């Protein structure tokens, strides 16, 4: 049933009442400050709410406004983002902060075109920020909203397919409550996140049930159509965790400078342990790489002590890392490398993959 006439205001009212009573109390819902809403929207991309909250709080404590973010060293921005993943978001966030200071007087732009011109801001983020912060009548469409709308309107097929996505955007635009667009968008997003979930929608508790065609037709299991998952590419890496007598280790720079073009992106272009792609046999290949990289004859014979293998997924890549501890009296050096206490790695921007390797090296029962 298409929502028309009197049904549309009833539908909106019912959902809004539900949202007033059931909304989760989230830190970014206690503000209308566009800067804070923007930070939350970027952090929430592909990341769970519970994982975002502590990052959101510490990020804002250190960068309470756009000027503080714009003027900070990039390394510090990345350090505060470390562990949250998808680090391009943090780099774009700071580039956008600088543009906002330079071109928009330090205020997040109010119109869609200017917002879309900022690095890291797509149609979804722009609509979310502008509607929530400034009450601009822009309907959001993300995975959660698309699922809710596809079910309500019984739109079959892959929602990400471009013509279908357009149709869903039209449905979102038609349902938007222009008098309170920010609250409306959050209502539909909340419904998708908490009730109309991908696997087991809780239709009995759903305020939209009366209007939901998928429910009426018994199609909630097949709408939206599941996407075919890309088969993961298996990658093997070997990494060296050097430790000297003082418990310090060595990290190499966050660029493509050391381990070859193809390795650094797997560490999100952050500080990392020396690592190399493995073709056949981790130990000799790592040993060869270390000797070439650090030019120290002693490394040719240094003992490589195997740690628990580390597994990590990055988008469609399934990475297995054979990590080895290399005990040395003095840490070797290569261009731009840094030494740091193994237990203090998070003082530098490091990826989750690097954290996992460090955990393997400091796991209980493992001598330091
Ligand atoms: S009735 Fe069920 S399928 Fe329909 S919107 Fe509500 S939770 Fe989703």
Kind plus residue range of the DSSP H or E element containing 40: helix 34-44
Give the separation between CA 170 and CA 157, rounded to whole angstroms.
16
CB of 206 within 6 A of ligand 1: the answer is yes
pLDDT in tens, 30-66: 999 999 999 999 999 989 999 999 999 999 999 999 9
Q: Which atom of ligand 1 is nearest to the CA of 147?
A: 8
CA–centroid distance, 209 to ligand 1, in Å, is 5
**Encoding tokens for residue 70?**
């714009």
pLDDT in tens, 297-318: 767 778 999 999 999 988 788 9
pLDDT in tens, 269-281: 889 999 999 999 9
pLDDT in tens, 123-157: 999 999 999 999 999 999 999 999 999 999 999 99
Mutate to test the pocket of ligand 1, among 147, 194, 196, 221 (most ligand atoms within 8 A of CB): 196
CB of 209 within 6 A of ligand 1: the answer is yes
The predicted pLDDT at position 16 comes to 97
CB of 154 within 6 A of ligand 1: the answer is no
More confident of the two residues 295 and 339: 339
CB of 250 within 6 A of ligand 1: the answer is no
Radius of gyration for the alpha carbons in the chain, expressed in angstroms and rounded: 25
pTM of the full predicted structure? 0.86
Confidence of residue 258 (pLDDT cuts 50, 70, 90): very low
Active site residue 41: yes
pLDDT in tens, 156-168: 999 999 999 999 9
**Encoding tokens for residue 107?**
């205020």
The predicted pLDDT at position 133 comes to 98
- Per the DSSP assignment, residues forming a β-bridge with 359 are none
Arithmetic mean of pLDDT, 279-296: 89
Domains of the chain, CATH where assigned:
7-216 (1.10.340.30), 233-362 (3.90.79.10)
* pLDDT of 201 over the 50 cut: yes
CB of 145 within 6 A of ligand 1: the answer is no
* pLDDT of 254 over the 80 cut: no
251-289 core/surface letters (b: 16 or more CB in 10 A; e: else): bbbbeeebbeeebbebbbbbbbbbbbebeeebeebbbeb
Q: Which atom of ligand 1 is nearest to the CA of 208?
A: 6
Confidence of residue 267 (pLDDT cuts 50, 70, 90): confident
**Encoding tokens for residue 254?**
């966050």
CB of 325 within 6 A of ligand 1: the answer is no
CA–centroid distance, 40 to ligand 1, in Å, is 26
CA–centroid distance, 110 to ligand 1, in Å, is 33
- Per the DSSP assignment, residues forming a β-bridge with 318 are 234, 313
C-beta separation of 32 from 23 below 8 A: no
**Encoding tokens for residue 62?**
């250190």
DSSP assignment string, 314-361: ETTEEEEEEEEEEE-SS----TT-EEEEGGGGGGS-B-HHHHHHHHHH
CA–centroid distance, 159 to ligand 1, in Å, is 16
User: Interior CA angle at 280 toward 275 and 282, to 5°?
Assistant: 40
**Encoding tokens for residue 345?**
């790695």
The predicted pLDDT at position 229 comes to 79
C-beta separation of 107 from 38 below 8 A: no
3-class DSSP state of 48 = coil
Considering the chain, what is the average pLDDT of its residues? Answer: 92
CA–centroid distance, 58 to ligand 1, in Å, is 36
Arithmetic mean of pLDDT, 182-192: 98
CA–centroid distance, 116 to ligand 1, in Å, is 32
Q: Which atom of ligand 1 is nearest to the CA of 203?
A: 2
Confidence of residue 261 (pLDDT cuts 50, 70, 90): low
CB of 149 within 6 A of ligand 1: the answer is no
CB of 150 within 6 A of ligand 1: the answer is no
Give the separation between CA 114 and CA 25, rounded to whole angstroms.
30
User: Interior CA angle at 35 toward 29 and 38, to 5°?
Assistant: 70
The predicted pLDDT at position 257 comes to 43
CA–centroid distance, 20 to ligand 1, in Å, is 18
Mutate to test the pocket of ligand 1, among 193, 201, 213 (most ligand atoms within 8 A of CB): 201
CB of 193 within 6 A of ligand 1: the answer is no
């Amino acid at each position: 049933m298409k929502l028309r006439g009197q049904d549309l205001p009833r539908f909106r009212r019912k959902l809004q009442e539900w949202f007033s009573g059931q909304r989760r109390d989230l830190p970014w819902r206690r503000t209308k400050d566009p800067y804070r809403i923007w930070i939350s929207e970027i952090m929430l991309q592909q990341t769970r709410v519970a994982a975002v909250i502590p990052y959101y709080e510490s990020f804002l404590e250190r960068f309470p406004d756009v000027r503080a973010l714009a003027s900070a060293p990039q390394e510090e921005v990345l350090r505060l983002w470390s562990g949250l993943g998808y680090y391009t978001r943090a780099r774009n966030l700071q580039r956008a902060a600088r543009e906002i200071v330079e071109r928009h007087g330090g205020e997040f732009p109010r119109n869609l075109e200017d917002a879309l011109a900022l690095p890291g801001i797509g149609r979804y983020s722009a609509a979310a920020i502008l509607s929530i912060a400034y009450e601009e009548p822009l309907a959001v469409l993300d995975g959660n909203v698309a699922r809710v709308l596809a079910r309500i309107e019984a739109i079959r097929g892959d929602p990400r397919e471009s013509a279908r996505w357009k149709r869903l955007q039209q449905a979102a635009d038609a349902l938007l409550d222009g008098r309170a667009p920010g609250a409306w968008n959050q209502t539909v997003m909340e419904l998708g996140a908490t009730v109309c979930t991908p696997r087991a929608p809780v239709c009995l508790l759903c305020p939209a049930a009366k209007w939901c065609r998928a429910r009426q037709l018994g199609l909630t299991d097949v709408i939206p159509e599941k996407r075919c998952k890309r088969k993961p590419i298996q990658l093997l890496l070997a990494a060296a965790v050097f430790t000297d007598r003082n418990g310090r280790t060595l990290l190499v720079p966050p660029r493509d400078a050391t381990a070859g073009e193809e390795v650094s992106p797997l560490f999100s272009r952050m500080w990392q342990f020396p690592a190399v792609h493995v073709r056949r046999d981790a130990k000799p290949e790592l040993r060869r790489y270390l000797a070439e990289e650090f030019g120290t004859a002693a490394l040719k014979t240094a003992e490589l002590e195997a740690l628990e293998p580390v597994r990590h997924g990055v988008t469609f890549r399934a990475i297995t890392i054979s990590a080895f501890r290399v005990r040395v009296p003095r840490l070797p050096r290569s261009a731009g490398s840094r030494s740091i206490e193994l237990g203090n790695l998070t003082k530098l921007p490091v990826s989750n993959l690097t954290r996992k390797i460090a955990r393997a090296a400091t796991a209980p029962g493992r001598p330091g």
